[in-house]
Amino acid sequence: MTEKIPILDLKEQTRKIEAEVIEAFRRVMAEAAFIRGPEVKAFENEFAQYEGCPHAVGVGNGTDALVLALRALEVGPGCEVITTTFSFIASAECISLVGATPVFVDIDPVTLTIDPGQIEEKITPQTKAVIAVHLYGQPADLAVLRRIADKHKIALIEDCAQATGATYGGKKVGSFGDFGCFSFFPSKNLGAFGDGGMVTTQHAEMAEKIRWIADHGSRVRYHHDMLGTNSRLDSLQAAVLRVKMKYLEAWNERRRQIAERYRRNLASSGIVVPQDAPYGPSHHVYHQFTVRIPQHRDAICEHLNANGVTAVIYYPVSLHLQPVYAPLGNGPRSFPQAEKAQGEVLSLPIYPELTDSDVDGISTKLCQKYQELAPGAGKKSTSGRQEPVRAAG
Ligand SMILES: *Cc1c(COP(=O)(O)O)cnc(C)c1O
């Protein structure tokens, strides 16, 4: 057997851009403006243009992007913010970090993004915002979310950490919300050589406010109007990101091709595959290719990992079941769709440099094991459009 296929391999991609990055680093060293220098300004402008959003502010990381958006809205103790229970912890952590209370909502069983139909019942006079997560690169239903936010006069924040380049109705995600919050953690679709993040916004005054909060609450140096912090994108990361930006569309397109190949290979296997959501129309960028395996998921995950394929469960525990959120009092069966998903999801390797033959090999191993453990399962529909199950209780 050849080497184990990792869930993500950045080595080849990094080799391909090495010469361009070194040239960019030389430029940064010549400028010697390492924080908020011209590279950062140029990257902010290029990113804003790419996003179709008037303002973009570089920040320290994706979690800070979310925290800074909430702080710009003056969300704090006594406030509530609605978010999905099925995401990476940062989608709720940011709310707790500003002293507000996360209010969880269940997911749509097909797209695994926040179910807009369950948001309005959670809105109270304390609700200040909704955070929608474009999970695995799949846009949440932004038109419906925007209508709900406008109707109740609350803010819409998009957690775009996994979805740089994804579109909804032909427009980039991050341009629908009051804020779009991006992460450039190395594993994301657009990743730096370290931590980095960006906030996009339609509102000029909000962009300014985020700049001061992220720079110790000062507009004029050593004059502090409000309590701030230190969260800035540095010039070396901006230089790397400017190089990578040029390839992002092609890389995302290759991710979509890989997804299509997996879908063809897994058709009629009984394994549920992701695809573009019916709304929008949406354009998924497959940060992850996450299938749902209705039975024996854990055994299949172990089998793949023991046989040359890294497969990972994103995420094994919904946020409402995390010990850190036990004080909120949401127990098991509070969010049935998320709890069902956490028992069935499995993410397979996907990155632009993955070869077609790797995809075929992974698919074969997966199908064979599933057939063996769940004979006959392949007769069911595999369209990814499961019957929506009514959330009970
Ligand atoms: C990665 C991620 C974040 C946080 O980004 P960092 O840059 O690692 O702080 C936030 N939300 C989601 C959904 C993520 O996947």
How far, CA to CA in Å, does 33 sit from each of 1, 213, 276, 385? 49, 21, 42, 51
For residue 329, what are its two tokens? 């009092």
Tens-place pLDDT, residues 275-289: 999 999 999 999 999
Cβ(61) – ligand 1 distance below 6 Å: yes
Ligand 1 binding pocket includes 349 (Cβ within 6 Å):
no
User: If residue 73 lies in a helix (H) or strand (E), which one and from where to where?
Assistant: none
Whether the predicted pLDDT of 392 surpasses 80: no
List the residue whose alpha carbon is closest to atom 1 of ligand 1: 161
Ligand 1 centroid – CA 380 distance (Å): 35
Q: What is the pLDDT, as a whole number, of residue 152? A: 98
DSSP string, 16-60: HHHHHHHHHHHHHHHHT--BS-HHHHHHHHHHHHHHT-SEEEEES
Q: Is 62 in the pocket of ligand 1 (CB under 6 A)?
A: yes
Q: What percent of the chain has pLDDT over 90?
A: 92
- Determine the distance separating the centroid of ligand 1 and the alpha carbon of 277, expressed in angstroms: 22
Instruction: Give the distance (Å) from ligand 1 centre to CA of residue 183.
Output: 6
Residue 276, C-beta contacts closer than 8 angstroms, at least 6 positions apart: 138, 282, 283, 284
pLDDT per residue over 354-383, tens digit each? 999 999 999 999 999 999 999 988 765 444
Number of residues in the chain: 393
Structure tokens at 389: 């199950």
Cβ(233) – ligand 1 distance below 6 Å: no
pLDDT of residue 221: 87
Distance of CA 196 from the midpoint of ligand 1 (Å):
10
Query: Which atom of ligand 1 is nearest the CA belonging to 287?
Result: 15
What's the average model confidence in pLDDT over 294-309? 97
Q: What is the pLDDT, as a whole number, of residue 205? A: 97
Q: What is the mean pLDDT of residues 91-116?
A: 98
pLDDT digits (tens, 9 = 90+) for 322-355: 999 999 999 999 999 999 999 999 999 999 999 9
Burial class (CB within 10 angstroms; exposed 0-12, middle 13-18, buried 19+) of 333 = exposed
Interval between CA 162 and ligand 1 midpoint (Å):
7
Alpha carbon 23 to chain centroid, angstroms = 30
Measured in Å, residue 198 CA sits from the centre of ligand 1 at: 11
User: How high is the mean pLDDT of the chain?
Assistant: 95
pLDDT over threshold 60, residue 268: yes
Mean pLDDT to the nearest integer, 120-141? 98
Task: For residue 282, give the DSSP letter.
Answer: E
Q: Is the Cβ atom of 159 under 6 angstroms away from ligand 1?
A: yes
pLDDT of 144 above 90: yes
Question: Taking a C-beta distance cutoff of 8 angstroms, is the pair 114, 83 a contact?
Answer: yes
Residue 162 CA: which ligand 1 atom is closest? 15
> Which of 91, 134, 183 best tests ligand 1's pocket when mutated (most atoms within 8 Å of CB)?
183
Higher pLDDT, 97 or 225: 97
* Strand duo 197-201 + 55-59: pairing: antiparallel
Residue 388 has pLDDT above 70, yes or no: no
Instruction: Kindly calculate the radius of gyration of the chain based on its CA atoms and give it in whole angstroms.
Output: 21
Distance CA 129, CA 18 (A): 41
Asked if residue 177 lies in contact with residue 73, where contact means CB atoms within 8 angstroms, the answer is no
Ligand 1 centroid – CA 101 distance (Å): 19
SS3 317: coil
* Cα-to-centroid distance, 161 and ligand 1 (Å): 5
Angle in degrees, CA 295, 297, 302, rounded to 5: 145
> pLDDT digits over 200-254, tens only?
999 999 999 999 999 999 888 888 988 999 999 999 999 999 999 999 999 999 9
pLDDT beyond 50 at 146 = yes
Looking from the CA of residue 134, the nearest atom of ligand 1 is 13
Does the C-beta of 91 come closer than 6 Å to ligand 1? yes
In this structure, the residue with its CA closest to atom 14 of ligand 1 is 161
**Does 185 sit in the ligand 1 pocket, CB within 6 Å?**
yes
Please enumerate in sequence order all residues whose Cβ is within 8 A of that of 80, keeping only pairs 6 or more positions apart, or say none. Answer: 100, 101, 102, 103, 124, 126, 127, 128
The pTM (predicted TM-score) of the whole model is 0.95
pLDDT in tens, 45-81: 999 999 999 999 999 999 999 999 999 999 999 999 9
| Ligand 1 atom nearest 196 alpha carbon | 7
Q: Is the CB of 93 under 6 A from ligand 1?
A: no
- The 3-state DSSP class for residue 226 equals coil
| Higher local confidence (pLDDT), 3 or 10 | 10
Residue 319's identity, in one-letter code, is L
| pLDDT confidence of residue 225 | 85
